Amino acid sequence: MKQIKSNSSQDYVRINKFIASNTKLSRRKVDEYILQGRVTINNITISDTGFKINPERDKIRVDGELIKQSKKKVYILLNKPQKTISSVSDDKGRVTVVDLIKIKEKIFPVGRLDYDTSGALILTNDGEFANKIMHPSFKIPKTYELKLSKPLEEKHKDYLTRGILLEGKKTAPSKIEFLSKDDKRKIRITIIEGRNRQVKKMFEKFGYKIYRLHRSKIGTISLGNLNSGEWRYLTTQEVSKIESLVSTKK
Ligand code: URA
C-alpha cells in the first residue's frame, strides 16, 4: 500500500471531517476506514486520520467512490405521515420520507420513526450533524404523544418514569403526562434515548398496546402548525441550538 505523509496548512480541512460532512459516515467510522486503507487522496492511500486536504483541489475516494463536496447544507423538519419509510429508498417500493421532499440536495433522515409512527423527523445532507445528534451519549429529549389500548395505571406510570428493564438494559428516566383528565389512555412521554421501537416496547412491557404514536418535538424543535406530510427548513437558530445542546452534553 502506497502511503503519503500529512501536511498541516491552516487553510485545509481534516480529511475525516471532510468525508463525514459529505457522506453519512461518522468521523469515527471514517477514521476506521482510513486505518483499513479504504481512503485515497488523488489515488494515493492514506493512513493518517488527521491528514488535511484541499477540498477544491484534491480528489477524495472511499472504497473507490469519489466524495463530492455538498454545495449547501440543508436541514429540514418533516411532519412524517404514517405509512412512510424513514429511509432514502425502499426495496418494497413503499413511499419513503425522502420521496416527500422534492429538492435537489441528497438528503437522508436523522434517525427513524416506525412505518406507522407520524411526526417530527429531521432530514439533512450533513452527515456530521446527523451523527452528532444521533449519538446515544447526546441524550436529546424527544416527545411523543400516543393513545393506549387501556387507561395507564399510576403504578405503571411511575415505573416507566423511573426507568424499566428493557432487553437487559434499564431505560433512562422519562417524563409522562396525561393529555386529558378524563381519558387516561392519552399520554405524552419524553425520553432521552432512541432505542429501536422504544416507546412501544416500554408500554408493551405492561400489556398496553399503542394505537397511535406521534412525535411532537425533538429537543427544542416543535412541529408547530406543520400538517402531516408538510415540511420546512430549520432556521439557523434551530440548527445551532440543537448543536449546542449536543456539545454541552458531551
Ligand atoms: N418509539 C417507537 O416505538 N417507535 C417510534 O417510531 C419511535 C419511538
Catalytic-role residue among 48, 99, 114, 126: 114
pLDDT in tens, 182-230: 999 999 999 999 899 999 999 999 999 999 999 999 999 999 999 999 9
User: Could you tell me if 132 and 238 lie in one domain?
Assistant: yes
The residue written with cell numbers 496548512 in the block is 9
Integer Cα distance of 235 and 167 in angstroms: 38
Q: Is the CB of 117 under 6 A from ligand 1?
A: yes
* pLDDT at residue 137 tops 90: no
What's the CA gap between 170 and 178, in Å, rounded? 23
Residue 129 lies in a domain: yes
- Ligand 1 touching residue 113 (CB < 6 A): yes
- Pair 11, 42: CB distance under 8 Å: no
pLDDT band of 123, cuts 50, 70, 90: very high
Q: Is residue 208 part of a domain?
A: yes
Work out the end-to-end distance of the chain between its first and last CA atoms, rounded to an integer number of angstroms: 37
Q: How many domains does the chain have?
A: 3
Does residue 1 lie within any of the structural domains? no
Alpha-helical regions (H) of 135-197: 154-162
Task: Assess whether pLDDT exceeds 90 at residue 5.
Answer: no
Is residue 248 pLDDT above 80, yes or no? no
* Catalytic (active site) residue 158: no
Residue 104 pLDDT > 90, yes or no?
Answer: no
Residue 1 has pLDDT above 50, yes or no: no
Nearest Cα to Cα of residue 128 among 77, 89, 75: 75
CATH code where residue 122 lies: 3.30.70.580
Instruction: Tell whether 7 is covered by a domain.
Output: no
d(Cα 153, Cα 156) in Å, to the nearest integer? 5
Task: Give the global pTM.
Answer: 0.76
Rounded Cα distance, 145 and 216, in Å? 7
Give the model confidence (pLDDT) of 143-165 as tens digits: 999 999 999 999 999 999 999 99
Question: Residue 131: pLDDT band by 50, 70, 90 thresholds?
Answer: confident
Mutate to test the pocket of ligand 1, among 78, 199, 205 (most ligand atoms within 8 A of CB): 199
Distance from the alpha carbon of residue 196 to the mean position of ligand 1, in angstroms: 7
Q: Identify whether 22 is part of a domain.
A: yes
Q: Is residue 25 situated within a structural domain?
A: yes
Identify which of 79, 122, 93, 127 has the alpha carbon closest to the alpha carbon of residue 229: 79
Are 145 and 214 found together in one domain?
A: yes
Name the residue of 79, 112, 147, 198 to mutate for ligand 1: max ligand atoms within 8 A of Cβ: 198
Same domain membership, residue 118 and residue 240: yes
Q: Indicate if ligand 1 lies below 6 Å from the C-beta of 198.
A: yes
Cα(87) to centroid of ligand 1, in Å?
A: 15
Name the band, by pLDDT with cuts 50, 70 and 90, for residue 8.
very low
pLDDT at 6: 43
**Domain harbouring 32, CATH code:** 3.10.290.10
Percentage of the chain exceeding pLDDT 70: 94
pLDDT score, position 12:
80
Predicted pLDDT of residue 216 = 97
Q: CA 60 to CA 40: how far, in whole Å?
A: 6
Question: Is residue 121 within 6 Å of ligand 1 at its C-beta?
Answer: no
Whole-number percent of the chain with pLDDT over 90: 71
pLDDT greater than 80 at residue 72: yes
Does ligand 1 come within 6 angstroms of the Cβ of 34? no
- Is residue 97 within 8 A of residue 121, CB to CB? The reply is yes
Helices and strands (DSSP H and E) totals, the chain: 6, 17
Are 50 and 94 within one domain? no
Question: Mutual orientation of helices 127-134 and 236-248 as an angle, nearest 10°?
Answer: 50
Q: Which conformational region is residue 244 in: left (phi greater than 0), alpha (psi within -120 to 50 degrees), or beta?
A: alpha
How are beta strands 175-178 and 169-170 bridged, if at all? unpaired
Residue (of 198, 201, 177, 181) closest to 189 by Cα position: 177
Which of 113, 145, 166, 201 is the best mutation target for the ligand 1 pocket, counting ligand atoms within 8 Å of the beta carbon and taking the most?
A: 113
- Hey, is 184 helix, strand or coil? coil
95 pLDDT above the threshold of 60: yes
- Kindly indicate the confidence band of residue 171, based on its pLDDT and cuts at 50, 70 and 90: very high
Whether 80 is in a domain gets the answer yes
Centre of ligand 1 to C-alpha 201, Å, is: 9
11 — pLDDT class (breaks 50, 70, 90): low
Q: What angle do CA 61, 62, 68 make, to 5 degrees?
A: 55
- Residue 200's CATH number: 3.30.70.1560
Q: Domain containing 196: what range? A: 141-218
Q: Is 90 in the pocket of ligand 1 (CB under 6 A)?
A: no
pLDDT mean over 36-43: 96
Residues 120 and 21 in one domain: no
* Per-residue pLDDT at 176 exceeds 90: yes
Residue 9 has pLDDT above 50, yes or no: no
